[in-house]
Every structure is written in structure tokens, then in C-alpha cells.
Amino acid sequence: MAIAAISIRGRQAWILLDSVIMTDNLATIHLAEIDGVIGTVDLRGGVDMALGTTLELQPR
């Protein structure tokens, strides 16, 4: 899922460069590994769809 740095979502997330969210290599990390929140953006719909495709889930 691509996010352009100059898009509304990109500015909300405070990303500096165009970015891509990949769902084919998932990992669990400890909360202590996160230094802090830079920005937030609601990507649930797109991420849900991407995860559904990656994990071969049936739509609800």
C-alpha cells in the first residue's frame, strides 16, 4: 500500500518520503522497542484489504 509524502495521509503521518506498507513480512515487536509516535493516520481499510490478500482471507 503506497502513501505519497505530499498526500493528506502522508502529511497526517508526518512521513518525509513516499512510503510503502508491506504486508507480506509481519513481525511482532515489544512495546519498549517503539521510541515514540511521530504521527497517526487511519489506514485500517487499506491495510485490512492488503492483509486479506496476503493471508488469503475471505472477505466478510
What whole-number distance in Å separates Cα of residue 56 and Cα of residue 46? 15
Picking from 7, 9, 17, 15, the residue whose alpha carbon sits closest to that of residue 38 is 15
Answer whether residue 53 is part of any domain: yes
Answer whether residue 31 is part of any domain: no
Range of the domain at 8: 1-24+38-60
Answer whether residue 30 is part of any domain: no
pLDDT of residue 6: 95
pLDDT of residue 38: 76
Answer whether residue 12 is part of any domain: yes
Answer whether residue 52 is part of any domain: yes
* Neighbouring C-alpha atoms within 13 Å toward the C-beta of 47: 10
> Rounded to two decimals, what is the model's pTM?
0.57
pLDDT above 90 for 53: no
The answer to whether the Cα torsion of 15, 21, 25, 27 is positive or negative is: positive
pLDDT of residue 18: 95
As a whole number, mean pLDDT of residues 44-48 equals 79
- Count of domains for the chain: 1
What whole-number distance in Å separates Cα of residue 12 and Cα of residue 38? 10
pLDDT above 80 for 41: no
Answer whether residue 15 is part of any domain: yes
Answer whether residue 7 is part of any domain: yes
pLDDT in tens, 7-24: 988 888 888 899 988 888
